[in-house]
Amino acid sequence: MAYNLTGKRIYVAGHGGMVGSAVLHRLRQENCTILTAESSLDLREQSDVRQWFATVRPDAVILAAAKVGGIIANRDAPAQFLQDNLLIAANVIDAAQSVDVEKLLFLGSSCIYPRMAAQPIAEEALLSGPLEETNEAYALAKITGIKLCQAYRRQYGCDFISAMPCNLYGPYDNFDPRTAHVLPALIRKVEEAARNAAPDLTLWGSGTPLREFLHVDDCADALIFLLQYYSDEKPVNIGSGEEISIRDLAEMVCEIAGYYGSLHWDETMPDGTPRKLMDNSRMRKMGWQPHIGLEDGIAATHRWFRERHGPAALWPVLRKPAHRARARAMVHKASMHQHPIG
């Protein structure tokens, strides 16, 4: 039976992030009340999280808060990626159960699947082989989140589900070159090279890995679809069903940004998994499909980046440092929100 969102109080954890922003935007089309917490609520702090849930008592939760980063950030801080994400998942899922949340959607990621999983990667590949070393810590925390949802379903009858999006991109992405994922890192590096009229540009890795990308607005639409129509312990992949090599992706970004210098590849930097295409047939069978093509989506994201990060040749680090004290709840009527995405 469908979960009707009308009149529901829906907490979006991580609403300031790329996925959370897109989910807020998408939820405003529903007749629901959106709940967010001030950034001072540290979801790693169990007692604060419990207290927040006890005060606010949401009906449903979309758990889009996580410590997220690209390949170098994951390689350099595995302890933090493992611990932060374990704590966030465990605290939110447990607090949700403690106040009888009716529905919870946990966000995992395609990196939970084994490094050499058969392609396209079906949901059944979970835990069938060794993980990619560069993001093993993050993946283990995310796998634990999925397992927590399954365990709370089995033990307490909670309607907690999990979704595994492929690589996402769009407005509010992290464009800090030290921690960004591949596509926002490419957009920033290419844009800088174009502005500086650099004759050549060196990019990380060999350029050969194949990756699948989905615009974050499509992802948000898929998440709201799942919240309404999916109720099972099996995780669900969310993808575009299309793959592209990093080299071709770089060429596409150069074309969009109007950069015509030469590209070089620094093969001393890690590539990650050679290929990562998800089997999205479960979503397709349920009747959902994406609408934003890769080239259009990158062009829109590039415009967004350019508008916000002006003509300066060097941008400051674009992410604010986490600074958290005690939390207060913020409650918004869906209709009261301004659209945060330009």
Ligand X SMILES: NC(=O)c1ccc[n+]([C@@H]2O[C@H](COP(=O)([O-])OP(=O)(O)OC[C@H]3O[C@@H](n4cnc5c(N)ncnc54)[C@H](OP(=O)(O)O)[C@@H]3O)[C@@H](O)[C@H]2O)c1
CB of 3 within 8 A of CB of 230? no
Are 25 and 220 spatial neighbours (Cβ–Cβ below 8 Å)?
A: yes
- Strand 213-215 and strand 262-266: the pairing is unpaired
The annotated binding site is made up of 14-20, 107-110, 142, 165-168, 181, 189, 204, 211, 271
Cis, peptide link before residue 78, omega less than 30° from 0: no
Residue with Cβ nearer ligand X (44 or 115): 44
Active-site hit among 113, 138, 169, 230:
138
Q: Of 39 and 245, which has the nearer Cβ to ligand X?
A: 39
Instruction: Please state the residue numbers annotated as binding site for substrate.
Output: 189, 204, 211, 271
Site residues (vs ligand X, CB under 6 A): 14, 16-20, 39, 41-44, 64-68, 84, 88, 107, 109, 165, 167-168, 174, 181, 322
Q: What tokens were used for 190?
A: 């290419």
Q: Which is nearer to ligand X, 30 or 84 (CB)?
A: 84
Supply the DSSP string of 204-272, one letter for each residue: ES-S--EE-EEEHHHHHHHHHHHHHH---SS-EEE--S--EEHHHHHHHHHHHHT--SEEEEETTS---
3-state secondary structure 100-145: CCCEEEEECCHHHCCCCCCCCECHHHCCCCCCCHHHHHHHHHHHHH
Cα gap 219→181, rounded to integer Å: 16
Of 5 and 185, the one with the shorter C-beta distance to ligand X is: 185
Min CB(184)–ligand X separation in Å = 9
For residues 201 and 193, is the Cβ–Cβ distance under 8 A? Answer: yes
* Helix (H/G/I), strand (E/B), else coil: 63: strand
Minimum CB–partner distance for residue 107 and ligand X (Å): 4
| Least distance from ligand X to the Cβ atom of residue 41, Å | 6
Secondary structure letter of residue 47 according to DSSP: H
> From the CB of 290, what's the least distance to ligand X, in Å?
14
CB of 260 vs ligand X, minimal distance in Å: 28
Angle of the 46-56 helix axis to the 78-98 helix axis, nearest 10 = 30
11 is catalytic: no
As measured in angstroms, the least distance from the Cβ of 121 to ligand X is: 13
Smallest distance from ligand X to CB 6, Å: 26
Nearer to ligand X, 194 or 224 (CB): 224
Distance CA 262, CA 89 (A): 43
Sequence letter at residue 78: P
Distances, alpha carbon 102 to alpha carbons 45, 77, 99, 295, in Å: 23, 35, 9, 38
**Which is closer to ligand X, CB of 84 or CB of 132?**
84
Contact 318, 175 (CB under 8 A): yes
Query: Residues 248, 254, 259, CA angle at the centre, nearest 5°?
Result: 150
- Judged by beta carbon, residue 19 or residue 249, the one nearer ligand X is 19
Return the active site residues: 138
